[in-house]
Amino acid sequence: MTAIPDLQALPELPLDDEGPVFKAPWEARAFALAVRLREQGHFTWNEWAEQLGGTIAAARSADDPNHGKSYYELWLACLETIARDKGLVTSELLAEHKQQAHDAQQRLQ
């Protein structure tokens, strides 16, 4: 059975009475991926919250509360950083997948 994360420990997570709030499917997928990696023991929620807090603080240091990004764009940036730092993915593979996602988005427009 999947353990429910302590959502209150996650800085600024958009929540309603039912849980996390997502504006787009990719946001829910990024959230689920972080939950799954935590379940697999790649990091703790405290470690994740600290990394995410640092990502948000870095964005705010540019005098823009969201650094021009949504909360889940910052979540995804944090996920990329922690996955790379933990050796779960390489910078090259991340770049390749970002390019593929960008290309797919361009084809939809």
pLDDT, the chain, mean? 83
Alpha helices in 9-89 (DSSP H): 25-39, 45-60, 71-85
How far apart CA 92 and CA 109 sit, in angstroms, is 26
pTM of the model: 0.74
Provide mean pLDDT across the span 20-29. 86
Supply the angle between the helices 25-39 and 71-85 in degrees, to the nearest 10: 30
- Per-residue pLDDT at 72 exceeds 90: no
Q: What are phi and psi of 44, to 5 degrees?
A: -95, 165
> What average pLDDT score do residues 32-40 get?
93
Tens of pLDDT along 39-70? 999 999 889 999 999 988 888 887 666 555 78
Band the pLDDT of 13: cuts 50, 70, 90.
confident
pLDDT, position 16:
75
